[in-house]
Chain A
């Protein structure tokens, strides 16, 4: 086995993972912060494993409400952060920045920012707080991409809230 190939084969995944970590970190730290209220959508269980799963209240009518999801092509939308409106992905050609790009999934606008990892011991208090509509999420938005930066409960960091007796 060629020694050079062995080195490349072993370094490639490490380099790729480091690159991915850096990209995610950069996306989170360099974007514009957008604070949006959240609420749970499944009254039975907000927690999927150790994820808190929520629905973001964008302050505009969800454009995906009427989509059946069965036979049509999946609609794409962008949420314009400043104008607080949804526009169709097809018509959006640099017409608003920053924007949060997403698609319709199960009758809701989804932008892959609808979940947050939490440690198990914080599950119960956070679950209750989100159900009581005390939750907000801070997104970092750059261009069309949004990543989750922080979860707030009653204006405080989730960790601070969870550790308060």
Chain B
């Protein structure tokens, strides 16, 4: 039974809907064009494979063709694909438009590669990718499905990150390790900021989703790296204060945005979690912090992630973060006690504490939510 059918049965049982209303809702949903995501997924895969194949052909060198013929063919093909996107406007032709659009942006990348090949251009890959992002952004907004904006946003984010990590530092000379710490710390904050700014922009939602997708994974990478470094080098400075300034500045901007624009019931938990990350991570990277303090910080940040995803209704991610907390607890006990028996005893005690907390939370969560709303208001 589809999910909505299950819900409708429950709602009718609870008296929220009549049988007739439930039938009308079912009929309406059945007639709605679902977009068939599975078909779309395979079509996107096929189109991506074609795009990658074209790029590979470019890389194989068409040595026997004159350069004008190669360039001319590429531009003719681009115009043909552009025409394909243009003539397939309208909801009923969405899939065809998406395929043409995907092929179009892939061919733009292939053409950049072709120009680089014909004119033997040097320079960094990140520069080529950023150029591609700049010229294909308007085209990416034509997508209705989300795959093209996700692809574009992923390339844009990582091109910018690698460009930032390798090119900007001639302005601020820093050791290489400091640069990468700075980048790791700042990436999730940058992704989150871009996602929040794009939410309010017309046709920006697809891009905002793509940027926000990267936030938890890049934050976890930074957290684990800081955790490992803290555990390995307790009592030793890791990096320079200056290298963490860009991320810290991003964090402050985010706190301001959250203070002004987030939903009242979510504001405090989100700001609290963000503060933990923005201040806790540099503390773990820089201060002479004992390994156990770093572990406690990790657990607190992971807990903030659990709360954030729970408030956003993303239960799978919340559960995943809970799992990570459990694993970190285990590692903590190994760090603290070093032996299986004591670790086992510690785990039983802390498991009991966790269960007790959860039971207490279940009993009192309505009261706590009301309090949070009062405080936020």
Is residue A120 within 8 Å, beta carbon to beta carbon, of the partner chain? yes
A9-29: which have CB < 8 Å to B? 9-14, 16-18, 20-21, 24-25, 28
A-contact bits for B79-103, CB 8 A (1 contact / 0 none): 1001001100100000000000000
Q: A6-B89, A119-B61 are in contact. Are A13 and B170 (CB under 8 A)?
A: no
| Complex interface: stretch among A31-39, A80-88, A110-118, A127-135 | A110-118
Is residue A142 within 8 Å, beta carbon to beta carbon, of the partner chain? no
Residues in chain B near residue A148, CB distance under 8 A: 119-120
Contact status A118-B61, CB under 8 Å: yes
A50 CB contact (under 8 Å) in B59, B85, B115, B118:
B59
Is residue B36 within 8 Å, beta carbon to beta carbon, of the partner chain? no
Residues in chain A near residue B79, CB distance under 8 A: 14
A1, A6, A11, A17 interface centre (most CB from chain B within 10 Å): A17
Residues in chain B near residue A71, CB distance under 8 A: 173-175
Contact status B122-A13, CB under 8 Å: no
B223 CB to nearest A CB, Å: 27
B20 CB to nearest A CB, Å: 38
How many chain B residues touch the partner (CB < 8 A)? 40
| Complex interface: stretch among B137-145, B339-347, B365-373 | B137-145
B75 CB contact (under 8 Å) in A18, A28, A113, A120:
A18
Residues in chain A near residue B142, CB distance under 8 A: 1, 6, 9-10
Residues in chain B near residue A1, CB distance under 8 A: 89, 142
Is residue B78 within 8 Å, beta carbon to beta carbon, of the partner chain? yes
Is residue B117 within 8 Å, beta carbon to beta carbon, of the partner chain? yes
Give CA–CA (A75, B124) in the complex, Å.
17
Residues in chain A near residue B112, CB distance under 8 A: 17, 20
Residues in chain A near residue B176, CB distance under 8 A: 70
A112 CB contact (under 8 Å) in B63, B86, B122:
B122
Q: A6-B86, A17-B75 are in contact. Are A115 and B173 (CB under 8 A)?
A: no
Is residue B121 within 8 Å, beta carbon to beta carbon, of the partner chain? yes
Is residue A8 within 8 Å, beta carbon to beta carbon, of the partner chain? yes
Give CA–CA (A5, B108) in the complex, Å.
19
Contact status A112-B123, CB under 8 Å: yes
Contact status A115-B120, CB under 8 Å: yes
Q: A17-B78, A147-B120 are in contact. Are A9 and B115 (CB under 8 A)?
A: no
Chain A, interface residues (CB within 8 Å), range: 35 or more
B159-200: which have CB < 8 Å to A? 169-171, 173-176
Is residue B358 within 8 Å, beta carbon to beta carbon, of the partner chain? no
Give CA–CA (A161, B338) in the complex, Å.
68
Contact status A116-B135, CB under 8 Å: no
A25 CB contact (under 8 Å) in B111, B117, B119, B141:
B119
Residues in chain A near residue B105, CB distance under 8 A: 13
Residues in chain B near residue A9, CB distance under 8 A: 138-139, 141-142
Residues in chain B near residue A117, CB distance under 8 A: 61, 117-118, 120
20 interchain pairs (CB within 8 A)? A5-B138, A6-B85, A9-B139, A9-B142, A10-B86, A10-B139, A10-B142, A13-B135, A14-B78, A16-B134, A17-B78, A17-B135, A73-B171, A73-B173, A112-B122, A114-B122, A119-B61, A119-B63, A147-B119, A148-B120
Spell out A's residues near B (CB within 8 Å). 1, 3, 5-14, 16-18, 20-21, 24-25, 28, 49-50, 70-74, 110-122, 147-148
Other A-B contacts than A10-B85, A10-B142, A13-B108, 6 sampled, CB-CB below 8 A, are A12-B138, A13-B105, A20-B112, A20-B131, A24-B119, A49-B59
Spell out B's residues near A (CB within 8 Å). 59-61, 63, 71, 75, 78-79, 82, 85-86, 89, 104-105, 108, 111-112, 115, 117-123, 131, 134-136, 138-139, 141-142, 169-171, 173-176
Closest 8 CB pairs of A and B: A112-B122, A9-B138, A119-B63, A148-B120, A10-B82, A24-B119, A74-B170, A13-B135
